[in-house]
Amino acid sequence: MGEGLKTVTYQAKLGSVADKVARVAALAEVIAPQVGADAAQARRAAELAKNDLQSRMVNEFPELQGIAGRHYAVAGGESAEVALAIDEAYQPRFGGDDIALSALGKVLAIAERVDTLAGGFAAGLKPTGNKDPFALRRNALGLARTIIESGFELDLRALLASANAGLAARNVQADVGELACRPRISMRWPS
């Protein structure tokens, strides 16, 4: 699996799923050392995280995205840490769901959401009123929860600038000022 992702369109202005995987892998490599995770493992998990989209299992049961990926990664000889991160990348999946528990899972969840937000805004898919077809609000909430509940101190503007750099090949850019109203997220969840 993996090569087929080049032929699957993620979003017309943002390229294929393979393009998204490359952007998320680059972001994961940047985020990992900032939160004490291994950059090479973060990149590897990101490179494999969407492979399960090509499987019949996920095609029939989309809610198994990530879960199936974890099992495929283990069967393919990947480390338990990388496999778990593939599963946890989708957390929180819905309001009230837990965030990722592992450091690699958190890195992947953050990288995925930063890319989705930057790409969504760059492609002109900004939510309006009650319409949010690209689920950008849910992604923003998942990003905020993961950062805050993990106690991470990340420069959101820098991450969004990195995401923009990944979008340059597609000739689209997000307005970082519009996406990041504060230059640093440095909050801790109340005890």
Residues 99-145 have pLDDT tens digits of: 999 999 999 999 999 999 999 888 888 888 888 888 889 999 999 99
pLDDT tens for each residue of the chain, 191 residues long: 467 787 666 787 888 888 999 999 999 999 999 999 999 999 999 999 998 888 888 889 989 989 999 999 999 999 999 999 999 999 999 888 999 999 999 999 999 999 999 998 888 888 888 888 888 899 999 999 999 999 999 998 899 889 988 887 777 777 666 665 543 444 444 44
Residue 106 CA to residue 94 CA, distance in Å, equals 16
The half-sphere exposure of 184 on its side-chain side, counting CA atoms within 13 A, is 7
Token pair 């393919």 is at which residue? 76
pLDDT value of residue 106: 98
pLDDT value of residue 8: 67
Query: How many percent of the chain have pLDDT more than 70?
Result: 87
Residue 95 CA to residue 115 CA, distance in Å, equals 20
Residue length, the chain? 191
pLDDT value of residue 54: 85
The pTM score is 0.87
How many H helices and E strands in the chain? 9, 2
